[in-house]
């Protein structure tokens, strides 16, 4: 068996322990404060690592245990973003949320996640991935009352993310991933400035860089939206050719139970493809054989050395035991196909 192919990883998040935040909610509030919260977050990261290691996940994350949300958890550290006076806004044309406002030039007073990556690095011997929101998705998760241009605001965020990502690399991150679900919605903007903003965010990095693009968490608004997309989801068809020409190393996407025509993966030739083989929108735990089936289908279009079995999206909204079962299924399914390939 060649242990270096079909390395498993996850999109990013895992459920939090019940003593840290109420389960099965996005934006769940912290149940601890002060010193207890800081220590609780570190303990939760340790647990997330142990769960991934025990399941057999090869490239691990902190399970995003230190953040309440994948976008606002970063925005709240920036200057120029007002969280006191939130406004209601549609997110990705899909659901309403109360979002912060940009009220002045955005800047990052101090590093946000470098200490967390150092801690993560010290707690595991496996390669580690750290996730950041992508510039376009950041723009799409707040109200702009200052820049007057989504592109200009995205470029300002990209420059902040680039400083952050360079520090994460220096702190020991093997992969820095930018989460860009907005890429699946605003195709013209992706072409006009979205890819350029992503490239600015990853500029100069020597570690692997990934972009995660998906159809969202398994929350009702996303499930309802997916029902409107028809029998074939061809959104990726518009963005994969642009990503294939870009400097990004890895693309994370959803394949399990989605209606994405699997042959679209061929548009990413030359890139690492993080194939979502775990559906995060259901509590049903995949069998290893189901995971293997998704990987085999993807192998028709992706070379084995470029294929990384992964989850469709973050698992934060799931029950903890469900997520643990899915981690184990992911690793076991990948092992089945690895054995087949080594015959
Ligand atoms: Zn996602």
Cα 274 to averaged position of ligand 1 atoms, centre (Å): 12
Q: Output the CA 72–ligand 1 centroid distance in Å.
A: 15
pLDDT of residue 5: 93
Distance from residue 238's CA to the centre of ligand 1 (Å): 18
pLDDT of residue 113: 98
Q: Report how far ligand 1's centroid is from the alpha carbon of 342 (Å).
A: 31
Distance CA 313, CA 13 (A): 8
pLDDT given at position 103: 97
Residue 334 Cα, ligand 1 centroid: separation in angstroms?
A: 20
CA atoms within 13 A on the CB side of 328: 11
| Helix-helix angle 320-342:288-299, to 10 degrees | 50
Rounded to the nearest angstrom, the distance between the alpha carbon of 327 and the centre of ligand 1 is 16
Q: How far is the CA of 137 from the centre of ligand 1 (A)?
A: 11
User: Could you tell me the distance, in angstroms and rounded to a whole number, from the CA of residue 50 to the centre of ligand 1?
Assistant: 23
- In the reported structure, the alpha carbon of residue 15 is separated from the centroid of ligand 1 by a whole-number distance in angstroms of 14
Q: Alpha helices of the chain — where are they, by DSSP H?
A: 34-55, 72-75, 114-123, 135-139, 150-170, 187-189, 195-202, 220-227, 235-244, 288-299, 320-342
Residue 237, number of CB atoms within 10 A of its CB? 15
For the chain, the structural domain boundaries read 34-342
pLDDT of 25 reads 85
Question: Which stretch of DSSP H or E encloses residue 251?
Answer: strand 250-254
Q: Are 130 and 120 a contacting pair, CB within 8 Å?
A: yes
So what's the pLDDT on residue 1? 46
| Spacing, Cα 1 to ligand 1 middle (Å) | 31
pTM recorded for the entire structure:
0.96
Closest CA to 235 of 300, 201, 190, 198: 190
- CA 94–ligand 1 middle distance (angstroms): 15
Going from the Cα of 36 to the center of ligand 1, the distance in angstroms, rounded, reads 30
Return the pLDDT at 321.
97
Ligand 1 mean position, distance from CA 103 (Å):
28
Instruction: For the chain, list residues with pLDDT below 70.
Output: 1-3
The answer for 230, left when phi > 0, alpha when psi is -120 to 50, beta otherwise, is: left
How far does residue 141's CA lie from ligand 1's centre (Å)?
14
User: What is the token pair recorded at 177?
Assistant: 């991933």
Alpha carbon of 313 to ligand 1 centroid (Å):
4
| 148 CA from centroid of ligand 1 (Å) | 27
For residue 260, the CA-to-ligand 1 centroid distance in Å is 14
The residues, ordered by sequence, that sit 6+ positions from 217 with a Cβ below 8 Å of its Cβ are: 26, 280, 281, 313, 314, 316, 317
Q: What's the 3-state SS for 31-76?
A: CCCHHHHHHHHHHHHHHHHHHHHHHCCCEECCCCCCCCCCCHHHHC
Ligand 1 centroid to Cα of residue 223, in Å, is 13
CA 8 to ligand 1 centroid distance, Å: 16
Dist. CA 107 → ligand 1 center (Å): 26
Interval between CA 34 and ligand 1 midpoint (Å): 30
Q: How far is the CA of 237 from the centre of ligand 1 (A)?
A: 17
Q: CA 260, CA 17: separation in Å to the nearest integer?
A: 33
User: Is 280 in contact with 317 (CB distance < 8 Å)?
Assistant: yes
Q: How far is the CA of 182 from the centre of ligand 1 (A)?
A: 10
C-alpha–C-alpha distance, residues 254 and 252, integer Å: 7
CA of 214 to the centre of ligand 1 (A): 4
* Residue 205: per-residue pLDDT: 98
Ligand 1 center–CA 311 separation, angstroms = 9
The b-or-e profile of 16-34 (16+ CB within 10 A means b, else e) is bbeebbeeeeeebeeeeee
**How far does the centroid of ligand 1 lie from the alpha carbon of residue 252, in Å?**
9
- Residue 289 CA to residue 117 CA, distance in Å, equals 34
CATH T-level assignment (fold) for domain 34-342: TIM Barrel (3.20.20)
């Amino acid at each position: 068996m060649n242990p270096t192919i079909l390395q498993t990883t996850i999109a990013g998040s895992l459920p939090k322990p019940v003593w840290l935040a109420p389960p099965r909610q996005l934006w769940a509030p912290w149940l601890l404060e002060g010193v207890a919260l800081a220590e609780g977050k570190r303990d939760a990261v340790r647990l997330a690592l142990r769960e991934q290691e025990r399941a057999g996940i090869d490239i691990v994350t902190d399970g995003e245990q230190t953040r309440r949300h994948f976008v606002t958890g970063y925005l709240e550290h920036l200057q120029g973003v007002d969280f006191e006076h939130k406004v209601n806004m549609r997110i990705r044309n899909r659901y309403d949320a109360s979002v912060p406002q940009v009220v002045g030039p955005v800047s990052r007073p101090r590093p946000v996640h470098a200490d967390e990556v150092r801690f993560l690095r010290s707690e595991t011997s496996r390669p580690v991935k750290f996730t950041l929101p992508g510039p376009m998705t950041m723009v799409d998760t707040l109200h702009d009352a200052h820049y007057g241009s989504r592109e200009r605001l995205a470029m300002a965020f990209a420059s902040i993310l680039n400083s952050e990502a360079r520090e994460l690399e220096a702190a020991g991150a093997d992969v820095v991933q930018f989460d860009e679900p907005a890429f699946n919605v605003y195709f013209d903007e992706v072409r006009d400035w979205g890819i350029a903003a992503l490239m600015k965010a990853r500029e100069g990095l020597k570690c692997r860089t990934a972009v995660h693009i998906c159809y969202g968490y398994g929350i009702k608004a996303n499930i309802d939206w997916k029902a409107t997309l028809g029998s074939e989801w061809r959104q990726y068809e518009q963005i994969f050719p642009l990503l294939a020409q870009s400097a990004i190393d890895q693309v994370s996407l959803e394949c399990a139970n989605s209606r994405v025509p699997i042959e679209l993966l061929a548009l990413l030739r030359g890139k690492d493809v993080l194939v979502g083989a775990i559906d995060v929108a259901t509590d049903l735990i995949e069998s290893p054989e189901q995971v293997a089936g998704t990987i085999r289908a993807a192998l028709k279009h992706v070379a084995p050395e470029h294929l990384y079995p992964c989850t469709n999206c973050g698992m934060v909204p799931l029950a903890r035991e469900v997520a643990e079962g899915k981690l184990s299924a992911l690793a076991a399914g990948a092992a089945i196909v690895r054995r087949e390939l080594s015959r």
